[in-house]
Structure 1
Amino acid sequence: MDLNAVEMFVEVVLAGSLSAAASRMGVPLPTLSRRLRELERQLNVQLLERSVRGTRLTDAGARLYEHASRGIEALLEAEQAVISDQTRLKGRLRLSLPPSFEPWWDLLAAFQRQCPDIRLHIFTTDRRVDLVEDGIDVALRVGTIAHETMVARRVLSYRHVLVASPALVERLGMPETPEALHRFPCAVWNQGSNAPTVWRLGSSEHSPAAVLSANDYAHLRSRALAGEVVTELPPFMAASAIREKNLVTLLPEHPLPVQELNLLYPSHRHPSAIVRSYLDFCQAQLPSFL
């Protein structure tokens, strides 16, 4: 197998198109295209599906990319280790984050201050992503992870909090039981499903008649601060407003379920030095940012 052609193939996957990869590598586009066709003939498989919008991995291409990118990363690490044991971490880290995950923004800024030669690319989405196909090194995900091709490193457990503005509570009264929420306008987090949202409050369940549903906690917080709704928020998105008495916690004796926060990366890919440093930094430093 032509290792130079394999490296070109990996660059095409990372860049998203042949033209972008050719520009990045300083290789003429016809040369790059010819080398990839030769690699496909050598392996007797199609690695890339080409279109006017770029390239897409075939199943065979995805398998080759998984192994080849790991090998190239290992060779680059070995090269850096030989040059100098003191070499600072340098390169690109591709991350996936949920929307409005504000504490992570400060955490990433602190990580880059510690490792200034690392360039971050952040893909924000609430949908499930294919880490290999989307070129993601580490994804931050909420909830229990059970996937045989992924490694999940749990970094935090927490509970959402039910909140409202003092003005809304003064107008409608402090609810003493989950059933009392029926007299409150509620806003819920929803990813677009038609299924009704259920708040599990201790041993009780409440199905709020939602006046608003959104997949953005920042939007829900804004409406709660405006005195319009009761909603649930991650604790780190409600903490400052609660401290400043712009929001109050409702039904603390009926807590919402425990949530798990995990960092997810492919199990078949040996974590690079950059990925390992990021994982360790997050686990060690996260408590100080919440």
Structure 2
Amino acid sequence: MDNLGSLNAFVQAAETRSFTTAGKQLGLSSSAIGKAVARLEERFGVRLFHRSTRTVTLTPEGALFLERCRRIFCEIEAAELELSQTLSEPRGKLRISLPLVGMLMMPTLSAFMRAYPDIELDLDFTDRLVDVIDEGFDAVIRTGKASDSRLMTRVLGRFRFKLVGSPDYFAERGVPETLADLSTHRGLRHRYPSTGKLEEWPLAARRNGAVSEPPTAATSSIIEPLVYMAEQGLGIACLPDFAIREQVEAGILISVMEDAVRNSCIFRVLWPSSRQLSPKIRIFVDFMAERLFSDPHSLRLASVRTGPGSA
């Protein structure tokens, strides 16, 4: 950096033909400019200027050196411009981890790809907890609380679970009105593929603390079969509201006992904390926060297999 400062002093002096004017432009004294030039002359072993009491003029060696210095500063400016464009324009690969239920986000992710074609999405769907930094993810989307102090976080939206079944199923089995009524129904349950455990339904506990979930009729590690089986009248499923919004609106599924479902969940996007947030991550976070829950059709079952995620 000291060398660049000396080179800049030389260029300014050569272009203005004055140490005093060059000093004013750089906020230095004329003697400081003279010393910088003298250091260059001593280093290179050539005289760069002819000096007089009134003016300074370039020697042949100085003129040659000036052209080289101009090229150096042009290259520096070009490098700064390229870096500035890289930092300001979203582009490059973006590695994102999503829960299996993230398959339901494909309409929003597809819209993001259309809006930012220079960003290459690398999507990893899993229900396991990932180490965002150690595994090299740019961002992750998860439910639940954010506990890693190394990460920044932003809430994307909230959702609730609903107990749903088909009209034909409830016509045959009856509509449950209490937690005890669930014991006579058929449960369509989600099973975590990574652990094999069944996901608990977020139901209010009975007064005696007994479990309220119905006997299991079928399990699945992904959501689509549960939705399909519920539509076919094969049992009751406990599903995220965004996964069955269209079916409920169309009357294909009926939501029951809504007061018994006791909690809601939050979708968050998390990314490594950094003073310089890259444009591609900033754009992705803003886009998902603005779009994911704003459009009633932005979260829906895609034409491919989907599945519920976990925190």
Contact kept, 8 Å, 1:100 with 1:218, in 2: the verdict is: no
Say if 2:187 and 2:213, in contact at 8 Å, map to a contact too.
no
- TM-fit CA distance, 1:240: 0.8
Structure 2 residue aligned with 1:90: 91
- Whole-Å Cα distance in 2 between the matches of residues 152 and 84 of structure 1? 24
8 A contact 2:113–2:119 mirrored in 1: yes
Normalized against structure 1, the TM-score is what?
A: 0.66
Distance in structure 2 (CA, Å) of the matches to 1:206 and 1:270: 49
Higher alpha-carbon Rg = 2
CA spacing shift, 1:196–1:84, aligned 2, 3 Å: closer
2:135 partner letter: D
Q: With a CA cutoff of 8 Å and minimum separation of 6, indicate the structure with the bigger relative contact order.
A: 2
Q: Could you give the per-residue CA deviations for residues 193-221 of structure 1, whole angstroms, max 9, x where no partner exists? A: 47665423245452332222333122211
The more displaced of 132-141 and 153-162 is 132-141
Aligned to 1:36: none
Pairwise CA distance, 1:114: 1.5
Distance 2:126 2:287 in 1: 23
Counterpart for residue 178 of structure 2? 177
| SS of residue paired to 1:107 | helix
Identity %: 25
> 2:168 matched to which residue of 1?
167
Give the length in aligned residue pairs. 213
1:200 paired residue number: 202
Match in the other structure for 1:63: none
Q: 1:101 to 1:78 in 2, by over 3 A?
A: farther
| 1:277 aligns to 2:290 (yes or no) | no
Change (3 A) 1:197 1:182: farther
Report deviation, 1:269: 7.5
Q: What letter corresponds to residue 173 of structure 1 in structure 2?
A: G
- Higher mean displacement: 152-161 or 127-136: 127-136
SS of residue paired to 1:260: strand
Unaligned runs of 5+ in 1: 1-76
Q: Distance in 2 between matches of 1:137 and 1:196?
A: 30
Structural mapping, 1:13-24, within 5 Å: none
Cα distance in 1 for partners of 2:104, 2:188 equals 22
Higher mean C-alpha displacement, 175-184 vs 99-108 = 99-108
